[in-house]
Each structure stands twice: as C-alpha cells, then as structure tokens.
C-alpha cells in the first residue's frame, strides 16, 4: 500500500527547522555510492577573454519543458491529484528523526560505485547520468538522475529514439501491465506503457520494479546522451502511480538509512556521485544543515529571501524545489528582476529571451539563497554562464525568470548551478528534509 490520506502527506514546516546534523565519525564511505560526474572553487572575477560564448539553445530547450514538468505543481503541493491506491506505503518508509541524533549514521558497508558522466556544453554542466541494468539477463542503459520527478522510464520498441533501448522480449522476467504511461519533463515528453522487471543500480537489485516503457519521445530527448530517466522525488507525484525505485529500496529494508546524497562536480566527466542510504564524508567539508520539506511531493523547501552582495536583501515567499534534473536556477519574474536590479549595470537580455539577464563580467557577485532562515551561496563560477556575445564585457547570469504564462507565481526551481556548491542529502527521516553541507568544490 502506498499513500494514505492527504493529511498524512503534509509535513509541518517546523518539524526539523532547528535541527542540525552531527558530523559523522570517521567512516567516510558508509553505504552505497553511485558516482556522477562534475567540481568548485571560489575565485575572483575572471577576464572576459577567458570565457566561452554563451549558447542559449540548451537552456531554451530546458525552459520549453519546465512549464510542462511543473504544470501540476500547484495541485500537488496542495495535496490534490496525488497518486493513490497503495494506502500506507509512505507510512512504512518515512521515519521520525531522532531528536538527540537527527542524522542517521549508517553501518559500514562495501561501497558500490558506478562511474557516471557529466554532459558538458561550454560553461554549462547540463546533465548528470549513470548506468543501470534491467531484465534477465541484465541489459545496461543510462539514466538521468532527477530529484524533480518521480518516474523511472526507459525506451522500449521506440522507432524515434536514437539512443540505446531495452529489448523486453529478451528478458525472461519482464511483465507488461498494458497500462498507459506518459509524463512531461523539462526536456520534453515521453509516453508508452507500464512494465515490471528486475532493475539494478549500484548493486541494489529490485525485482518487479515498475517503469515506463517509452515508445514515443519528443524531439528534445533525442538530443541528449542518456537513454532514460530515474525520478527521485516522492512517489506521490509519480505519473505511474507506483512507488519509486528508491522508495522500494526503503520498503524492502535494503538501505542502512532512508536517504540519498548527491555530489555534483564542475566541468568534469567523472567525480560526482549519488550515495544511496548514506553520506560520503569525503565529498563534504562540514556538518549538514537540515531544512524541512514543505510536503512529501517534491523536495520543496521554503525560500524566504535572496541576499545580493551582502548589503541588499530581496524578501521572498517562494516554494523552492531542489531539482538535480534542472541545470540552472529559475525564480519568479518579479524576484529575478529585483535581484538583478541590485547588481550594478545588469540588464535584461531580450536577444536570448525574456527570462535572461546579463551583468558585467568583471563584477564580483555574492548571492545567497535563504532557505528557512539559513543562507547558502551560489558560486560565482556557476552564476556566470559565459559571454553574451563575442568581444562583449557582459556575461549571462544563471538565475533566470519564470516568465511563461501559467507557471505558479510563487514557485522556484533550484538546479545544478546552485547544487554544485553544496553536498545535498535528501532524507525521508523527520517527515522529509533536505540537508546541505559545503561541497569539496568549495576548497
């Protein structure tokens, strides 16, 4: 059974607001590791001549899909139209955090590591993805790691797909439910049917895992290097109506702790990782600061302010979704306009679209997001997307406005441009919480 009543899904924003994690004892790699690929250092402003020219096409592709990906967010965040029919499932996987020791210290296990890749274009780390196997005998494919959605899908019998596909007829354990499946993402749309089979990631094998067997994809997906997608948000928003791969691991007691942690390096094909059931102390520089999730749908937290260059503060009331599947940071249009107003000589960049702004490349930028009263910086290295044009002295900023009609006016998406600075833990404990630790990229 999956989700009981909506009231059980809603989480008090005060459950763990003041809880801080204790540093883990010297046990740096407890749990199961899945490396991804991306790195970070605070540096002074760079000379414009050393920067690449910003290519807006990848960002425009992401922008085209964001409205679709989050089109149901207003309902989901209110507890409306959530997945049902499996009563009690979240009750079995969401546990209370211990007041005295709120951070679970997993036992020592053999680390299972898979090398994942960072899809890089110019100054952009576009996507973090890695391998899984599916079927009997196992077939290997790659999936994007997306904390902003909750479905696992891979291509099956898809004439339009250019990447590798799962051959279901060659698997002796594959079952076709004949239920239809479709979902929108930031990069496009996919549709097909629901199937079940053995899925293995980082040595964690789940039998009869539901997944979307996609037979149709939008053109945008064919421009990506990954075969499919692994959704890591709460299963309440799964279009399949089924528990996620990660929630199945928790339910079957296959993890030492109900959490996963993500390290995203910068402009590197290797070095990032996802740690299933654990935290990797070698990828962070300090203790975890916990922020409670607003409810068990998206990994959403309260953003109450944005600080610009220490002396300016933009007050906000934003539901911020922590989304590893999005490249940049997207905030409400009025908030973005106010942020750039506080950066001298910044201006809109209509040549790219109404969502974009530029600022002088030589300007020192210090921007901090305040989540539930705690401030976290975005690195100047990740804020700078490159030159606005050849020989320009202006650079494009990584905070974009959600200018499209129909997008919720109080919703923000916190993507990889921010997460590269923070080792991020997504924890089902305490009703759901997100933990930020300074990343080793900050050295």
Question: What is the set of active-site residues?
Answer: 146, 323
Contact indicator for 357, 333 with CB cutoff of 8 Å: no
Q: Which phi and psi (to 5°) does residue 176 adopt?
A: -105, 120
Q: Which phi and psi (to 5°) does residue 193 adopt?
A: -130, 165
Burial of 341 (0-12, 13-18, 19+ CB in 10 A): middle
Cis peptide before 410 (omega within 30 of 0): no
Element (H, E) at 7: helix 6-9
CA distance 238 to 149: 7
| Residue environment code for 353-371, b if the CB has 16+ CB neighbours within 10 A, otherwise e | bebbbbbbbebebebbbbb
Q: Among residues 299, 303, 300, which one has the least CA distance to residue 316?
A: 303
Element (H, E) at 65: helix 57-69
Radius of gyration for the alpha carbons in the chain, expressed in angstroms and rounded: 21
């Amino acid at each position: 059974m999956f989700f009981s009543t909506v009231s059980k899904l809603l989480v008090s924003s005060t459950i763990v607001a003041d809880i801080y994690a204790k540093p883990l004892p010297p046990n740096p790699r407890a749990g199961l590791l899945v490396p991804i690929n991306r790195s970070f250092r605070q540096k002074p402003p760079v000379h414009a001549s050393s920067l690449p020219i910003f290519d807006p096409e990848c960002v425009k592709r992401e922008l085209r899909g964001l409205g679709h990906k989050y089109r149901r967010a207003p309902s989901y965040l209110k507890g409306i139209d959530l997945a049902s029919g499996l009563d009690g499932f979240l009750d079995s996987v969401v546990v209370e955090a211990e007041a005295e020791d709120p951070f679970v210290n997993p036992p020592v296990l053999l680390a299972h590591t898979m090398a994942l890749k960072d899809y890089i274009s110019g100054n952009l780390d576009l996507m973090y993805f890695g391998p899984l196997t599916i079927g009997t005998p196992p077939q290997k494919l790659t999936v994007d790691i997306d904390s902003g959605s909750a479905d696992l899908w891979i291509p099956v019998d898809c004439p339009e797909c250019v990447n590798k596909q799962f051959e279901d007829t060659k698997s002796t354990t594959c079952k076709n439910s004949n239920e239809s499946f479709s979902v929108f993402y930031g990069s496009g749309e996919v549709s097909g049917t629901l199937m079940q089979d053995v899925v293995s990631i980082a040595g964690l094998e789940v039998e009869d895992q539901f997944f979307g067997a996609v037979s149709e994809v939008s053109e945008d997906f064919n421009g990506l290097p990954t075969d499919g997608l692994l959704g890591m948000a709460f299963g309440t928003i799964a279009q399949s109506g089924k528990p996620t791969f990660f929630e199945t691991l928790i339910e079957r007691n296959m993890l030492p702790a109900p959490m996963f942690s993500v390290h995203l390096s910068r402009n590197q094909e290797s070095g990032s990782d996802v740690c299933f059931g654990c935290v990797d102390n070698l990828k962070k520089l300090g203790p975890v600061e916990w922020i409670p999730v607003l409810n068990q749908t998206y990994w959403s937290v309260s953003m109450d302010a944005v600080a610009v260059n220490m002396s300016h503060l933009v007050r906000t009331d934003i539901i911020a979704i922590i989304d590893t599947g999005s490249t940049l940071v997207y905030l409400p249009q009025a908030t973005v306009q106010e942020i750039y107003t506080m950066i001298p000589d910044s201006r809109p960049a209509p040549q790219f679209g109404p969502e974009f702004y530029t600022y002088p490349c030589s300007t020192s930028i210090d921007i901090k997001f305040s989540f539930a009263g705690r401030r976290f910086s975005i690195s100047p290295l990740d804020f700078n997307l490159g030159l606005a044009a050849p020989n320009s002295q202006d650079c494009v900023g990584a905070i974009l406005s959600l200018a499209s009609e129909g997008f919720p006016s109080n919703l923000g998406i916190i993507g990889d441009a921010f997460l590269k600075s923070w080792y991020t833990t997504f924890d089902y404990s305490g009703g759901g919480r997100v933990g930020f630790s300074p990343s080793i990229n900050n050295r």
